[in-house]
Every structure is written in structure tokens, then in C-alpha cells.
Amino acid sequence: MKKYYDLVTKKNVLTAATGATAIYLVSKTLLSMFRSPPYNPDQMNFANLAVEYYPAPSARANVPGELRRLLLSLSPNLDDNSKRTTLHTITQCIYLKESEANACTNDDIRLVALFLDDGDKAVKTEALHALKAFTVVWRFKIKIQEYVPKIVELVTGSWDPTLQVAGLRLLNGLNIPDNTHTLLRGMLPNFLEILLMANTMAKVQVLKLLSTLAQKEDLLHDIMNCRTPAEFLSLFQPSLPGNLLYEMLVFVERLSEGRLSPQYQSMQWQYSDNSLHETIFGNNSRLSDRLLALIIHPEEEVQAQACKVILSLRLNREESKVVSALPFGANISVHPLESTRISQVSNPSDLSSHTLGPNNVSSEPTGTNVSFDSTHDNSGRSFHTLQGTDETGHSFYPLPRADHSFYPLETVSSHIIQDQRVNSFNIPPACYSGESDNSV
């Protein structure tokens, strides 16, 4: 018994505990291996293997003529693993050897686009990557535009983040055709939902797409009138990634620029209380407070863009005050056309039909009706101030930006002085010092 107690030391106890722990961990690992399901390569997400822009080159991608061989071997009858691998290598070949991509045809684009309807999401994602790679060849962009409705369907119909990012990046690499605007108009709520719910990469890409669509005149009002939840302003928090904040600010700037365009202001738009327009430009908008916090953002790009948006919003408010003060349908311009001013100065007789002011004197005996404001100089001649009309049809008096010198109408003044028979008047003599203006 004494020998047994001699073996129970601190060192021996620590060694035994360590060994027991190691045996337990090894046995647990072996047991989990035996209980795990058999290896299935189809369960692997090969879409994550693709790099965001340029996939890592493989040995096959560097072989001359490999792109053509891969396209010839690509078939819907392949298993999912072979489809993913082949499409992934095609993407690599296009980026590495653009000269071989130039030799491809529209039939090759159609072949790759067939896999957008594949049942496997990873295959669809690799097909989107391959089509995005084909956009490096300008003429293929026009062909790929035919598949915009299918691409939009994939982006808005799936919450797979890799698939969404691949589809949005492809859309941003294309020129959106006008015949798809009706489809995109109906998908705007889905894009805003992605903006609020998806990951950062998807949010950045959908903001780039929305900024592009905001420059389309027929889509701008629909974007403005989209229902926007209160969480929208949370996308302006300074703690968010800088690339996301920058794209948010660019999107707001595009909306502000479109709102100031003459085409947009020529219409009387109506917005709901919870619309994107009211959230950004409404009287109760709290966006300004969020923007002030971004002025001190650590990234200079975000700071500069925040300042631009603040100035743009200020200009929008000032413009709204001017428009609301004008009568309905009036033109915002406050100056007459230069051609109108020159015509009035060179042809003062054309103004004879206008009523120039409250103090009008008519020359009835001569048979010529001319309305004017009578003004006299020291020589006793009558002068008449010119009245103009700006392009809105509203009179202004006197003529802004014009030569304010007076032009005598000799024919009228001579009748006034010489003909004293009927309803005429004499020009009073000039007043000298010591005489009252009321003296007779």
C-alpha cells in the first residue's frame, strides 16, 4: 500500500490526465469518421472556387487551343461535376487568352447560356462567370443582352449569395437594352429587397445596377416611387464598409441629378409617404443627419462623395422652392431671350400694341394709337420706356439686362407738341429756382 501512495505524485497525475485526454480526443475523432456519410463530390460547392474577377489559372488553361477543345466537349449530358469544372476552366481560358476568345462565335455564347437553365445552382453560377468573361469581347456583349431577362430571373429568384453576385456583376457589365425596361420596372422591389437583405458584395453590385437604371428617364420615377422600409437609412451608418457607403452615396447622387433634369421637372409627380423619394428628398427626411456623420469617415472617397451629395440635396431644396413659387406651367427661366430683347430695341414701333404702364397717354387726333409712359428731358422731348416680354409670356418692366437708355419716338412727340386742337396737352416749362411746381 505504501508503494502505491509513493506512485501518486503530482507529476504522475498530470501525465495520466494528459494521456487520458489525448486518448479521448482520438477516439472521438475516429468515432465521428465512422458515423459520417460517405463522400459525395456533388455536395461540394465548386462555385466558391471562382475568384471574383480573374480565376486562378490552371495548367489546362495555358495550353494553346484549350478553349476550343473545352467548348467542343461541353454538353448538357455531362454530370454536374464535369459541367462545373469545364465551365470554370472556360472562364480561365477567356481571361488568359483573349485572342482565342475573339475567335469564338455566337454559337459558343448560346452553348454556355444553355447552362443558365441547369438544375444545379453551382453550374448556373459558373455559366454566369463564363458569360461575364465573354464580355471582354465587345461584340459578344450585344449577344449576351438577349439573356438579360433570364439573368434577372436568376438574381431575383434565388437567395444564393454566390449566384446573386455573379448575375449582378454580369448585368453591370452589359448595356441594358430598352426592351427590358418593362421587366426591370417590375423587379425594382426585388432589387431593393436584395439591397436590404443580401450580403455586402451583393449590395454593392445591386447599387451599381440601380445607379445605372436611375439614369434611364422612363425608370427614374418608378425607382423614386418604390416602397422603402425604415431600414433604408441604416445603410448610411459610418460603421459599414467603405465600398458599400460609396455606392450608396453614388446612388443618391444619381437620383438627385435625375430629379433636377428638365424632363423630370416638367411633370407633376405624386409620391406615397413611404416612397424612396420621400425618404431621401421629403421634408421629414433624416438623411441629412446621416450624411453629416459620413463627412468624417476615415476613407477620403466616402468623404468626398458625401460632400457632393449634401450639395446636390441643397440644390434640390432650393430648386423646389423656386418651382413651388411659380404659377402652374410657368417656365423657370427669369431672363428674356436675347433675340426678343434685340428685336424690341431695334423695332420699338412693334410695341405699340402693348400697354406699358398705369400712366398712359393716347394720341387720338393723329389716328395712331400708341400707349406709353411719358417722360421728359430738359429739351422738352417726350421719351417712352420700353416694355419687354420674356419667354413665359409674362411682362417685366423695365427690361432686365437690356440697355436702359430711352429711345424717343419722334413721330409721336411731334404730334403732341404741334397738334393742340383736340385733347392735346402742352409740355410745362421747366421750373426755375424760387418757383413752385404748383405755380400757374
Reported as a single tens digit per residue, the pLDDT across 129-157 is 999 999 999 999 999 999 999 999 999 99
- Kindly provide the b/e burial profile for residues 365-388, where b requires at least 16 CB atoms within 10 angstroms of the residue's own CB: ebeeebbbbbeeeeeebbbbbbbb
Q: Where are the domains of the chain?
A: 42-152, 176-326, 338-418
Instruction: Taking each helix axis as running N to C, give the angle between helix 181-197 and helix 148-157, from 0 to 180 degrees, rounded to the nearest 10.
Output: 30
430: cell is 421747366
Place of cell 454530370: 79
87 pLDDT above the threshold of 70: yes
pLDDT value at 14 more than 70: no
Instruction: Mean pLDDT check: name the lowest of 59-68, 138-147, 290-299.
Output: 59-68
Q: Sorting pLDDT into bands at 50, 70 and 90, what band is 312?
A: confident
Asked if the bond preceding 398 is cis, omega within 30° of 0, the reply is: yes
Instruction: Write out pLDDT tens, residues 382-416.
Output: 444 444 444 444 444 444 444 444 455 444 444 44
Cβ contacts of 311-319, under 8 Å, gap ≥ 24: 312/252, 312/253, 312/256, 312/257, 313/252, 313/256, 313/280, 313/281, 313/287, 313/288, 315/256, 315/260, 316/256, 316/259, 316/260, 316/281, 319/260, 319/265
Greater confidence (122 vs 440) lies with 122
d(CA 403, CA 96): 69
Mean predicted lDDT score pLDDT of the chain = 74
Residue length of the chain: 440
**Confidence (pTM):** 0.61
More confident residue, 44 or 63: 63
Give residues with Cβ within 8 angstroms of 389, minimum separation 6.
336, 340, 354, 395, 396
SS3 label, residue 387: coil
Which range is least confidently modeled, 26-30, 74-78, 167-171, 364-368?
364-368
d(C-alpha 297, C-alpha 282), whole Å: 25
| Reported confidence tier of residue 424, pLDDT bands at 50, 70, 90 | very low
Stated as kind and residue range, the H or E segment containing 375 is: strand 374-376
Predicted confidence band at 361 (pLDDT cuts at 50, 70, 90)? very low
* 336-340: average pLDDT: 40
DSSP structure string for 323-353: HHHSPTT--S--S--HHHHHHHHH-GGGGGG
Residue 125 has pLDDT above 50, yes or no: yes
Burial class, 417, CB count within 10 angstroms (exposed 0-12 / middle 13-18 / buried 19+) = middle
Burial of 440 (0-12, 13-18, 19+ CB in 10 A): exposed
Rounded mean pLDDT, 164-180: 94
Q: How confident is the model at residue 320 (pLDDT cuts 50, 70, 90)?
A: low
Whether pLDDT at 262 is above 80: yes
The Cα 38–Cα 35 span in angstroms is 9
- Sole residue written with cell 465573354: 134
Q: Which CATH code is given to the segment(s) 176-326? A: 1.25.10
Q: Which of 17-26, 171-180, 220-229, 321-330 has the lowest mean pLDDT?
A: 321-330
Residue with cell 507529476: 11
pLDDT, average across residues 294-316: 90
Instruction: Give every CB contact of residue 270 below 8 A, 6+ residues apart in sequence.
Output: none
Better-scored residue on pLDDT, 145 or 20? 145
At residue 267, the 3 state secondary structure works out as coil
Residue 437 CA: distances (Å) to CA of 42, 378, 433, 434 = 109, 15, 10, 10
DSSP class of 178: G
**Confidence grade of residue 263 (pLDDT, cut at 50, 70, 90):** confident
**H, E, C per residue of 95-130:** HHCHHHHHCCCHHHHHHHHHHHHCCCHHHHHHHHHH
